[in-house]
Structure 1
Amino acid sequence: MTQTPLSRLPAFDAAQALPEQKAVLDEILSGPRGNLNGPFLGWIHSPELAQHAQRLGAFCRYQTGLSLHHSELAILVTAARWQAQAEWYIHYPIALKAGVPEALAEQIRTGATPQFDEPDDALIYAFTTELYDAKRVSDATYARAVERFGHETTINLVGLLGYYALVAMTLNVFGMRAEGQTTLPFAE
């Protein structure tokens, strides 16, 4: 359990972990993720933040009311907006497996205007990009989201976007890469 040589953080040695750090690691590893790939070895240097963030992340990843397809699409848009190398690297194959078309993912990665086959994909993209670009969501887009997904899931979508923006910021600020990552989806 070590970070890549690019990381700005000190190497983390699980054998030397504090009890609070061990509790976080154990919860992550025994949960639905089952691995520490992503921001967790950065957050572990602040065990209380790590615990809160990983629990929020488990909710945002698995319990928002969105399909895995739509969650992963929103995560890819976030990764592309933040040019988060590890976030894209980790979530791209998950998104493809969940049914996000490869051509759509590539359009999002490169900043091209996406072509949508599914209206719900276009809605997730519109909601996400409006929020990131305008720092707000228009009344029309909000109404479409609530009509399609309901209030609770729309609230959860905002939470998912906030959480994955936090992940992207963590990965970018601390120079973290995904386990096994040898290529970068975005130029540096």
Structure 2
Amino acid sequence: MSPRLSAHDLNKLSPRQREIHDDILSRRGRVGGPFPVWLRNPELAECAQKLGAYCRYDTCLPPILSELAILVVAGYWDAPVEWGIHAPIARRAGLPEQVILDIEEGRPPHLEDSKARAVYDYTKELLASGRVGDAMHARAVSELSESGVIDLVALIGYYSLVAFTLNAFEMPMPEEKLGSVSG
């Protein structure tokens, strides 16, 4: 798989693209993943960066639950670059290796924590049908709070956009291979 877009020449960025590039770099330490694609439309890149920063760093969900949902999304959309970036982050957040392996291999993981189980089940149900049943929604609200479910849905949507972008433009794994690569 080779990228469908040529690499951006940093010397040829417009002032607006440079401003957003530098903002992404200052927040994330690198401009990878979907951002090289989105930077071709700087207004999209700016909006996506803000939503992504919220979904990644500022939701009311603890990182272990956010990363669990991100891995479910990456696996569902068969997004190896998203998986490769987030599997190590999930490990650092404390997600057990067996849970990561199970999701990677398409098996339902054994999740003892009821909040983690709610995140996994809600994410799978929403991705599978674009909807969530009343019982699942009530269970998720009970486990995560209403705000937690709102943040979870935003996170699922944002990381689906990331997966679509990475897959549609056949973006490569960052130079430093960060994790296992499979859907």
Identify whether the pair has TM-score above 0.5, normalized to the shorter chain.
Answer: yes
* Counterparts of 1:113 and 1:146, CA distance in 2: 21
Q: Aligned AA for 1:94?
A: I
- Alignment-derived partner of residue 17 in structure 1: 13
Cα offset, 1:185, TM superposition:
2.0
* Counterparts of 1:143 and 1:184, CA distance in 2: 34
Q: Aligned AA for 1:13?
A: D
* Counterparts of 1:183 and 1:175, CA distance in 2: 17
Whether the aligned pair in 2 keeps the contact of 1:86 and 1:171 (CA below 8 Å) is yes
State the SS of the aligned residue for 2:145.
helix
State the SS of the aligned residue for 2:32.
coil
Answer yes or no: is 1:100 the counterpart of 2:102: no
Answer yes or no: is 1:120 the counterpart of 2:115: yes
Q: Aligned AA for 1:57?
A: G
- Using the size of structure 2 for normalisation, the TM-score is 0.94
- Alignment-derived partner of residue 158 in structure 1: 153
Cα offset, 1:117, TM superposition:
2.3
Whether the aligned pair in 2 keeps the contact of 1:107 and 1:114 (CA below 8 Å) is yes
Could you give the per-residue CA deviations for residues 119-163 of structure 1, whole angstroms, max 9, x where no partner exists?
211111000000001211111111111122221221111001000
Q: Cα–Cα, structure 1 residues 30 and 82, in superposed 2: closer, same or farther, change >3 Å?
A: same
- Alignment-derived partner of residue 142 in structure 1: 137
Quick one: which of 55, 70, 75 aligns to 2:70? 75
* Counterparts of 1:75 and 1:182, CA distance in 2: 15
Question: Matched residue pairs, number?
Answer: 182
- Using the size of structure 1 for normalisation, the TM-score is 0.92
* Counterparts of 1:93 and 1:11, CA distance in 2: 25
Quick one: which of 83, 90, 94 aligns to 2:85? 90
Quick one: which of 45, 59, 62 aligns to 1:64? 59
Whether the aligned pair in 2 keeps the contact of 1:85 and 1:177 (CA below 8 Å) is no
- Alignment-derived partner of residue 106 in structure 2: 111
* Counterparts of 2:25 and 2:7, CA distance in 1: 19
Cα offset, 1:186, TM superposition:
2.3
Q: Aligned AA for 2:154?
A: G
| Percent identity of equivalent pairs | 45
Cα offset, 1:184, TM superposition:
6.4
Structure 2 residue ranges without an equivalent (≥5):
none
* Counterparts of 2:172 and 2:151, CA distance in 1: 27
Q: Does 8-17 or 145-154 show the bigger shift?
A: 145-154
Q: Aligned AA for 1:142?
A: H
* Counterparts of 2:143 and 2:151, CA distance in 1: 14
Cα offset, 1:182, TM superposition:
8.9
**Consecutive aligned runs of 4 or more in structure 1 exceeding 4 Å deviation:** none
